[in-house]
Chain A
Amino acid sequence: MSTYYAGLLADTGILMLGALSVYIILATGQLSLGNAGFMGIGAYVASWLTVEVGLPLTAALLIAAVFAGIVGVVIGFPALRLKGIYLAMATLGFGEMVRSFFLNFEPMGGAGGFSGMAHVSVGYIWLWAGGVLILVSVLERSRLWLEIRATHDDETAASLVGLNTTATKIGAFGFGAAVAAIAGGLFAHHQVYIEPANFGFERSIDLVLAVILGGSTVAPGALVGAALLVMLPETLRFLADWRLAAFGTLLILVLLVRRQGILDRGLFRMLTLRRQGT
């Protein structure tokens, strides 16, 4: 496999993890426009642990995930007061605050960025990406996910039948933040150089875009969306200067033709059944 395709594959894996982090939070009916902030926290914590402390990458990623998960829970509590687009804007503000924090955090390079990480292989990235995707897919068949869907569909009704919607929503924030942190840590060790601008609003939007394009009702939708977002600009390369405009046009077209995303529950069930039949 050439380094070019290896790079694209690694980007897809990292973007898919980021998209899953949005998916997990979105499953409870909360839209986060600040997941790049959690990614940034994961990237900086994991890089500090491997470069300055000398921990192995896997341990560093786990610690970064736990740390970001705690931050996610702390963010989740005030977020309970907000719904819909208001929550989206608050998380947007959180993401920008994290970016601005690292811009001023001189011990790790500030605006100059941070480097010194050892490069990580595509296989290792996909070990994590595949593992988390399987974990979320397994979770989707559990009782817990039914509670999450109930919270998504009608929060009031869910709490009236005795479900703890508060715990569900906060838990989703913590879990989503942890997954985003792993994506960030892998990103840092794939790029071997990070700067605060890597984790701005545009990154957060990319993550949401991957989920919505791929399909926001099943976890593998994140995989479809991530692959699409990484490969599409590459296949449009022949358009040279106009490839971003073409990308934007295709994005609008997909939303107009298939607003539920490319992969939805119906299509997913069909695909998996057919595979069982053959």
Chain B
Amino acid sequence: MSGALLLQQVVNGLTLGAVYTLIALSFSLVMGILGILNLAIAELFMIGGYVGFTLIMAGAPLPVAIIGGMVVAAAVSVVIEKIGYEPLRDAPAITPMLSTLGFSIILQNIATNLWGSDPLQLPDDRLGSRIALGEVSIGTMQLLVIGASIFLVAALAFIIQRTTLGRALRAVAENRDVARLLGVRANHILLIAFILSGVMAGAAGVLISLHYAAITPYIGVETGLKAIAVMVVGGVTRTWGALLAGPLIGLAEVATISYGGSQIRDFVVYGLMILILLVRPQGLLGGARSDHGPRV
């Protein structure tokens, strides 16, 4: 493999990794604070993608499409929190996980009925040009995906680390009861966590569907499972581990496709995830507190 081709693969891997990072952050916002796996995130991502796609087809500019996807996904996320999570707060962790599964079945059905089960294709003229750098060509869309992901992650980092809201989020994640005693409105904060999670998933959906220039109602499941692996490799309660794990898994995936055939990539990705769980349950960047997950 020539150097230029290798560089091309690195760019492809980083693009994929950027999107994985966004969805993994979406998962870990809910997981880190509530300790539940929100399976509907995969479909929020799909719905966000369709909304963005529809807006682009209607001639809306890109930022509008991305914001549209984020808003709709966040709104659906609020519904999920109110109906699927809040009444089941005291139940064992599997119960809210399955109620979010109920929502993902509903969302997938809605998407199939609204947009059909065949893939939607974006016409070439809306794809944007490719920039040639010597032998390497980078699509403007790829640059956009990477750029927008970096911006979103930075914005989220700012909210979580620097604002009062972020401090409240971290307090509730640390200990919900103590946070409540100290005057944090915990229920309010949980809702915000769901909204932020929806925003990230929706944006990721728009970005990946524009990158592939195609979308199907089934895009959520596969990418969503991969994002769970990214979250685990980065460390479930260590939100920022996903920044390292996303590009890592994206690159690993692209590398296995070019060296070992595309079929073997899932084997490698999930193998890596299990290895991390066993050897470093706290994730690549995790600290000392390891596998004190809530009991099922």
Contacts and interface: CB of A to CB of B under 8 A. Distances in A.
Given A88-B296, A89-B232, A255-B102, A212 B109 contact: no
18 contacts: A30-B296, A31-B296, A81-B278, A82-B281, A84-B35, A85-B35, A87-B293, A89-B232, A92-B225, A93-B273, A93-B277, A104-B267, A111-B263, A201-B221, A248-B109, A251-B105, A255-B102, A256-B83
B88 A255 contact: yes
Interface string A82-98: 11111111101110110
Contacts of A202: 221
A256 to B, nearest CB: 6
Summarize B's interface: helix, strand, loop or mixed: helix
B97 to A, nearest CB: 8
Contact of A104 (B104, B221, B263, B277): B263
Given A88-B37, A89-B277, 10 more contacts: A85-B36, A86-B291, A90-B277, A93-B232, A93-B271, A100-B263, A100-B264, A201-B221, A244-B105, A256-B99
B296 A104 contact: no
Interface in A255-274: 255-256, 259
Given A82-B281, A104-B267, A249-B106, A89 B228 contact: yes
A97 B263 CA distance: 11
Contacts of B36: 85
A96 to B, nearest CB: 4
Interface in B74-92: 83-84, 87-88, 91
Interface in A20-53: 26, 29-31
B229 interface: yes
A255 B86 CA distance: 12
Given A84-B294, A245-B109, A90 B278 contact: yes
A242 interface: yes
Interface centre among B91, B109, B281 (most CB of A within 10 A): B109
Interface in B260-293: 261, 263-264, 266-267, 270-271, 273-274, 277-278, 281, 291-293
Contacts of B94: 31, 208, 212
A198 to B, nearest CB: 15
B221 A252 contact: no
Contacts of A94: 270, 274
A26 B228 CA distance: 22
B239 interface: no
B291 A82 contact: yes
Interface string A204-218: 010011001000000
Contacts, number: 144
Interface of A: 26, 29-31, 78, 81-90, 92-94, 96-97, 99-101, 103-104, 110-111, 201-202, 205, 208-209, 212, 241-242, 244-245, 247-249, 251-252, 255-256, 259
Contacts of A252: 83-84, 99, 102-103
Contacts of A100: 263-264, 266-267, 270
A212 B98 contact: yes
Interface in B176-234: 221, 225, 228-229, 232
B267 A208 contact: no
Contacts of A30: 296
B295 interface: yes
B142 interface: no
Interface in B50-107: 83-84, 87-88, 91, 93-95, 98-99, 101-106
B110 interface: yes
Nearest to B35: A85
Nearest to B268: A100
Given A252-B83, A255-B99, A259-B95, A242 B270 contact: no
